[in-house]
């Protein structure tokens, strides 16, 4: 069976690469008939492999009043709204008619109190504000690690985002495509990525701030790992470089760090409330390096140098690290 699938994939690749003629149309039609006989996962891989490669995303030049804002209070929704207002408003990023893609953390089959996923109120309030600013469509998605239906439901994110008007969907295989990296030796050169993270006017990363066993911390930069398809375990062989390449390629317009309930140990999944710290804070910046270095220090008392991927992204010029010169506003509500 495996040999037949591989042979079929090869023939399909050959067919899809040819200019369409009557002869190739008939061959392709036959190939598609055979495709329908394959398991859905394998069929999705065929479509993904034969999709045009993604080009590097262009980040909108958005000017903000300050570099970063952070708001603490009992309501994640109110904290999110106020933090974005302090930064200059969501209208600095989202314009009338825009398609917005939001990448929260929905990886784990756990409810909000465990802090493993982004707080659903943070996501839904961001969706609402995008529509208030004139967005045509707001998409919410993640490539989960646990079973996706359970993750979407038990995290509370699917229902909250849908109620706010978002298009919430699973990252099925057909939604992935290869990418054209500037560096032919890029670590991620042979992986597939969620197309919706490029085919959008605005990309927003909304992670759950938490400890991570290998990366040390999982914040806004690391959150983009959820855009990768296939065997993501291989990324951990070159994790820091992978995180840099993802942020350099996709260039999120906005990073919203959800530190409502942070996992302080045994992350990224956690699962023990003893490892959860209630910090009730949202930090927002257009600069992922600043957002993460600020969050590392503020929420985990760690220098950015203690988190290799943040240090690497800073070294390669993706952003500026948190310092006394950073223009920051904090507020308690």
Provide the pLDDT for residue 236: 82
pLDDT digits over 84-94, tens only? 999 999 999 99
131, 157, 183: which is closest to 258 by C-alpha? 157
Task: Specify the pLDDT at position 47.
Answer: 45
Compute the chain's Rg from CA coordinates.
20
- pTM to 2 decimal places: 0.87
Q: Report d(CA 94, CA 91) in Å as an integer.
A: 5
Judged against a pLDDT cut of 50, whether residue 147 lies above it is answered with: yes
Rounded to a whole number of angstroms, the distance between the first and last alpha carbons of the chain is 61
Average pLDDT over residues 137-165: 98
Contacts of 241 (CB under 8 A, 6+ apart): 187, 312
- Report whether 288 contacts 255 (CB < 8 A): yes
CA distance 194 to 171: 7
pLDDT digits (tens, 9 = 90+) for 208-262: 999 999 999 999 999 999 999 988 888 888 999 999 999 999 999 999 999 999 9
Tokens of 220: 């806004």
Higher-confidence residue of 230 and 19: namely 230
Show me where the domains of the chain are located: 2-49, 68-332
Strand partners, 331: 71
3-state secondary structure the chain: CHHHHHHHHHHHHHHHCCCCCHHHHHHHHHHHHHHHHCCHHHHHHHHHHCCCCECCCCCCCCCCCCCEEEEECCCHHHHHHHHHHHHCCHHHCCCCCCEEEEEECCCCCCCHHHCCCCCHHHHHHHHHHHHHCCCCEEEECCCCCCCHHHHHHHCCHHHHHHHCCCEECCCCHHHEEEECCCCCCCCCCCCEEEHHHCCCCEEEEECEEEEECCCEEECCCHHHHHHECCCHHHHHHHHHHHHHHHHHHHCCCEEEEEEEEEECCCCCCCCCHHHEEEEEEEEEECCHHHHHHHHHHHHHCCCHHHCHHHHHHHHCCCCCCCCCCCCEEEEEC
**pLDDT-above-90 percentage for the chain:** 81
Cα angle value 281/148/217 (rounded, 5°): 40
Residue 328's DSSP bridge partners are 68
Average pLDDT over residues 300-316: 98
Please check the confidence at residue 31 and state whether its pLDDT lies above 70: no
Phi, psi of 9 (to 5 degrees): -60, -40
Does the pLDDT of residue 12 top 50, yes or no?
no
As its CATH architecture, domain 68-332 has 3-Layer(aba) Sandwich (3.40)
Tokens 């009043």 belong to residue:
65
**Is pLDDT above 70 for 154?**
yes
pLDDT tens string 73-84 = 999 999 999 999
49 pLDDT above the threshold of 60? no
Give the separation between CA 95 and CA 202, rounded to whole angstroms.
9
| 8 A C-beta contact, residue 249 and residue 313 | no
Average pLDDT on 290-298 reads: 98
Q: Which residues contact 125 (CB under 8 A, 6 or more apart)?
A: 76, 77, 78, 80, 81, 164
CA contacts within 13 A on the Cβ side of 51: 22
Residue 129 has pLDDT above 90, yes or no: yes
Whether residue 8 has pLDDT greater than 70: no
**Looking at residue 51, what is its pLDDT?**
63
Q: Distance between CA 249 and CA 55 in Å, rounded?
A: 8
Per-residue pLDDT band at 32 (split at 50, 70, 90): low
Residue-level pLDDT at 158: 98
**Residue 126: predicted pLDDT:** 98
Average pLDDT, rounded, for the chain: 90
Nearest to 171 by CA among 43, 44, 256, 59: 44
Binning pLDDT at 50, 70 and 90, where does residue 36 land? low
Give the number of other CB atoms < 10 A from CB of residue 74. 10
């Amino acid at each position: 069976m495996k040999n037949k699938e591989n042979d079929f994939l090869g023939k399909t690749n050959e067919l899809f690469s040819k200019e369409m003629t009557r002869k190739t149309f008939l061959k392709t039609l036959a190939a598609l008939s055979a495709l329908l006989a394959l398991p859905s996962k394998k069929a999705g891989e065929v479509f993904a492999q034969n999709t045009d490669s993604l080009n590097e995303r262009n980040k909108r030049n958005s000017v903000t009043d300050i570099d970063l804002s952070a708001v603490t209070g009992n309501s994640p929704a109110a904290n999110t709204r106020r933090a974005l207002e302090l930064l200059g408003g969501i209208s600095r990023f989202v314009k009338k008619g825009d398609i917005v893609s939001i990448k929260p953390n929905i990886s784990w089959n756990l409810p909000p109190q465990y802090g493993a996923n982004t707080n659903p109120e943070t996501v839904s309030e961001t969706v609402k504000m995008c529509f208030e600013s004139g967005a045509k469509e707001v998409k919410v998605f993640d490539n989960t690690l646990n079973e996706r239906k359970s993750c979407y439901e038990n995290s509370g994110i699917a229902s909250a985002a849908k109620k706010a008007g978002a298009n919430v969907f699973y990252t099925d295989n057909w939604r992935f495509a290869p990418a054209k990296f500037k560096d032919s030796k890029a670590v991620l050169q042979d992986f597939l990525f969620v197309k919706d993270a490029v085919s959008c006017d605005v990309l927003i990363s909304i992670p759950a701030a938490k400890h991570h066993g290998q990366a040390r911390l999982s914040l806004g930069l690391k959150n983009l790992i959820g855009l990768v398809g296939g065997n993501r375990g291989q990324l951990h062989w070159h994790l820091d470089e992978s995180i840099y390449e993802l942020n350099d390629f996709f260039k999120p317009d906005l990073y919203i760090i959800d530190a409502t309930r942070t996992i302080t140990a045994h992350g990224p999944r956690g699962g023990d409330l003893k490892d959860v710290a209630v910090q009730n804070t949202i930090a927002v910046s257009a600069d992922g390096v600043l957002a993460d270095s600020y969050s590392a220090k503020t929420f985990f008392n760690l220098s950015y140098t203690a988190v290799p991927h943040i240090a690497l992204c800073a070294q390669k010029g993706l952003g500026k690290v948190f310092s006394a010169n950073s223009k920051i506003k904090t507020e308690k509500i």
